[in-house]
Amino acid sequence: MNAQPTTKLVIVAKNTMLVESLSIWLGHQPGLTLLGRAEADADGLDVCRLNRPDMVLVDVTPPQFAGLDLVESLRRDLPTVRVVVMSDQTDPYTIWRISRCKVPGFVEKSSQLTMLMEAITAVAGGANSYSTRYRKTENEWLTRPDAFHKILTKRERQILLRVVAGWDDPAIGNELGISVHTVAVHRKNIRAKLRLRNDRALIAYANTWGFGSATNPTILRPAFA
């Protein structure tokens, strides 16, 4: 009798407890072979290059969105690998960032393990699998004509992220390599595009769309948008 084919899996998550718990549980699931695990994107990429898995389970967590760099690297270096993203955020900004990577699967970290297994099975079989909240956010928020990504440029999104994180214009200009005057002009243009009167309204708008969950006053990369 021929052995049933198994899905070869790698887990990448920054949280040690999450990695260890998933490793134990998934390691006992029929149809899965756990090839390795890692707690950093670079280590995860090395594990994937070495073991050539069928699937990678990746934890993506704001504000740094650790995991998305790995997803992009996998698309470039190992294009046949299927990816399931886990995250504890389902706000519009987070879902937009993840959706741009075109991953075939998404589950919330609060989901039951059986739902994670259902997603893994579906994605391993060539289908897409997204949580109900993911689809709801994508369909009800990101398709709106006033959705932030349809209105604001990349530079404007970079500045808005820093405004909501509490950065002043000199700090934003220094980080992005532009003048304080240019930052002020961008702020004005952003408010005009969104028809907002002041920065208080701007911050309220940003929080509504999830920019607040994606920011940390001390952790933002220049290209972060």
pTM for the structure as a whole: 0.88
Domain 148-214 has CATH 1.10.10.10: yes
Can you give the residue ranges of every domain in the chain?
Answer: 7-140, 148-214
Structure tokens at 118: 């259902």
For residues 122 and 98, what is the distance between their CA atoms, to the nearest angstrom? 19
Contact of 164 with 207, CB cutoff 8 Å? yes
pLDDT at 224 over 70: no
Give me the residue label for tokens 């879902």.
95
Q: Nearest-CA neighbor of 133 among 107, 98, 101?
A: 107
The arrangement of secondary structure in 7-140, i.e. its CATH architecture, is 3-Layer(aba) Sandwich (3.40)
CA distances from 30 to 8, 17, 92 (A): 11, 22, 35
Mean pLDDT (whole number) for 189-199: 94
Question: What is the per-residue pLDDT across 19-41, written as a single tens digit (0 to 9) for each?
Answer: 999 999 998 999 999 999 999 99
pLDDT at 213 over 90: no
Q: What does pLDDT average to over the chain?
A: 91
Contact of 56 with 44, CB cutoff 8 Å? yes
